[in-house]
């Protein structure tokens, strides 16, 4: 069952986004007309999830140049580089953003002999293609991953990996969705995912929308559930995977992987091939975004700590590849030796 809601859609001459900062209390769709609004939407998590960020940024480049008056390709390309650098500054960890920007730039240079107005049309067409491809990719991830899920499985997931984070279906969520559609009587444990509660606010919302049985838990409850035999598998998403399989994902993912390993529970990462970064040898070199301390010291706008409390707020952590059972991709399941098997997909 394809979710009926869309995090991102292109309508006429602008983007329409489902503002994820308002969920689950309000379902508000906002028009996005400029590249500045795209940057803000990504930075402030109105749009989030690695694939969705890449899609939005691709449309953002078009919004940045559609009314640009350049006399030649050289000055046009300078503006493109400026807009790409600007968008990439919004969130540095998710590789899909830079992947989409690279693809846009390659397409532009492949058509540099064309009229600039035509190149602008090609940019928009490329963004639409990236969007459509992600929908197909996420569906395939779900179909492949569903085969790993046994009837009656108790699945634990972290953060939000559904249609809100992608073009459609999701990544880890797509596996869960397709297992449910295959009439497997699954139950899902949903980590609340501190500090911004993407699990409690967003994954719970998506599971309700798709009528999949679930229970919400605090992040700190996951270990106890694993230790008492109440988790059969863990499935998460990814924002960037290094060449050796080390994986950056929402903060708290590393802890889950260690706990799963301790309790002999399979730990899978579901993601599109665009989330692999073969230019990075290991997770040590992945840049981790640090966000404002207020996300920890406040709940919404309400302070929950003593005044002047200092806080460290990394948005992601890196899970070493040794804790990962396999990667679920649109081209199949990647198992160890990860460095060898990941590389072979891009040869």
Residue 190 sits in a domain whose CATH number is 3.40.50.10470
Q: In terms of domains, do 113 and 179 share one?
A: no
* Structure-block tokens of residue 59: 């449309």
Q: In terms of domains, do 145 and 54 share one?
A: no
Q: In terms of domains, do 269 and 324 share one?
A: yes
Residue 22 sits in a domain whose CATH number is 1.20.120.420
Q: How many domains does the chain have?
A: 2
Residue range 251-262, pLDDT digits in tens: 999 999 999 999
Q: In terms of domains, do 126 and 160 share one?
A: no
Q: How far apart are alpha carbons 252 and 240 in whole angstroms?
A: 15
Q: In terms of domains, do 86 and 158 share one?
A: no
Q: How far apart are alpha carbons 10 and 149 in whole angstroms?
A: 34
Q: What is the mean pLDDT of residues 173-187?
A: 97
Residue percentage of the chain with pLDDT more than 70: 100
Q: Shortest CA distance to 198 belongs to which of 147, 166, 231, 164?
A: 164
Q: Shortest CA distance to 230 belongs to which of 191, 181, 263?
A: 263
Q: In terms of domains, do 56 and 128 share one?
A: yes
pLDDT of residue 70: 76
Q: In terms of domains, do 277 and 148 share one?
A: yes
Q: In terms of domains, do 238 and 314 share one?
A: yes
The number of angstroms, rounded, from the C-alpha of 234 to the middle of its chain's C-alpha atoms is 17
Active site residue 239: yes
Q: In terms of domains, do 240 and 265 share one?
A: yes
Is the sign of the CA dihedral 114, 116, 121, 125 positive or negative?
Answer: positive
Q: In terms of domains, do 179 and 79 share one?
A: no
By DSSP bridging, strand 29-32 and strand 302-303 are unpaired
By DSSP bridging, strand 276-277 and strand 298-299 are unpaired
* Structure-block tokens of residue 275: 């989330």
Q: Where is the domain boundary, 116, 138, 160?
A: 138
Position 217 confidence tier, pLDDT thresholds 50, 70, 90: very high
**β-bridge partners, 247:** 241, 319
Q: Shortest CA distance to 168 belongs to which of 113, 119, 220, 130?
A: 130
Q: In terms of domains, do 133 and 214 share one?
A: no
Structural domain contains residue 2 = no
Q: How far apart are alpha carbons 214 and 70 in whole angstroms?
A: 53
Q: How far apart are alpha carbons 94 and 205 in whole angstroms?
A: 23
Average pLDDT, the chain: 95
Structural domain contains residue 108 = yes
**8 A C-beta contact, residue 274 and residue 51:** yes
Q: What is the mean pLDDT of residues 175-203?
A: 97
Structural domain contains residue 205 = yes
Structural domain of 49: 8-138
Task: Report pTM.
Answer: 0.95
Structural domain contains residue 265 = yes
Structural domain contains residue 78 = yes
Q: Where is the domain boundary, 138, 161, 178?
A: 138
Residue range 145-170, pLDDT digits in tens: 999 999 999 999 999 999 999 999 99
**8 A C-beta contact, residue 59 and residue 15:** yes
> Where is 276: in which H helix or E strand?
strand 276-277
Q: Where is the domain boundary, 108, 138, 168?
A: 138
Pick the catalytic residue: 134, 191, 219, 239? 239
Structural domain contains residue 3 = no
**8 A C-beta contact, residue 276 and residue 239:** no
pLDDT of residue 48: 95
pLDDT of residue 92: 86
Q: In terms of domains, do 116 and 150 share one?
A: no
Structural domain contains residue 1 = no
């Amino acid at each position: 069952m394809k979710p009926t809601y869309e995090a991102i859609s292109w309508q006429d001459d602008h983007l329409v986004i489902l503002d994820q900062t308002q969920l689950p209390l309000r379902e508000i769709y906002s028009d996005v007309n400029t590249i500045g609004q795209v940057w803000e939407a990504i930075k402030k998590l109105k749009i989030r999830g690695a694939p969705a960020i890449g899609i939005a940024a691709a449309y953002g480049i078009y919004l940045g140049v559609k009314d640009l008056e350049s006399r030649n390709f050289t000055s046009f390309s300078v503006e493109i580089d400026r807009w790409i650098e600007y968008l990439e500054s919004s969130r540095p960890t998710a590789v899909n953003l830079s992947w989409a920007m690279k693809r846009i730039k390659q397409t532009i240079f492949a058509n540099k002999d064309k009229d600039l107005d035509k190149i602008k049309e090609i940019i928009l067409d490329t963004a639409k293609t990236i969007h459509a491809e992600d929908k197909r990719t996420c569906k395939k991830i779900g179909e492949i991953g569903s085969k790993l899920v046994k009837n009656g499985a108790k699945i634990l997931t972290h953060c939000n990996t559904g249609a809100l984070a992608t073009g459609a279906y999701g990544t880890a969520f797509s596996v869960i969705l397709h297992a449910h559609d295959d009439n497997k009587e699954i139950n899902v444990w949903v980590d609340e995912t501190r500090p911004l509660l993407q699990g409690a606010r967003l994954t719970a919302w998506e599971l309700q929308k798709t009528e999949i049985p679930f229970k919400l838990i605090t992040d700190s409850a996951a270990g106890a559930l694993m230790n008492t035999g109440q988790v059969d598998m863990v499935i998460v998403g990814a924002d960037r995977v290094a060449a050796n399989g080390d994986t950056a994902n929402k903060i708290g993912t590393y802890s889950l992987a260690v706990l799963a390993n301790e309790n002999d529970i399979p730990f899978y990462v579901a993601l599109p091939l665009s989330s692999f970064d073969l230019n990075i040898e290991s997770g040590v070199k992945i840049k981790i975004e640090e966000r404002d301390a207020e996300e920890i010291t406040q709940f919404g706008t309400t302070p929950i700590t003593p005044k002047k409390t200092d806080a460290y707020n990394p948005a992601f952590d890196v899970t070493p590849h040794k804790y990962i059972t396999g990667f679920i991709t649109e081209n199949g399941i990647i198992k160890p030796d990860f460095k060898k098997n990941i590389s072979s997909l891009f040869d």
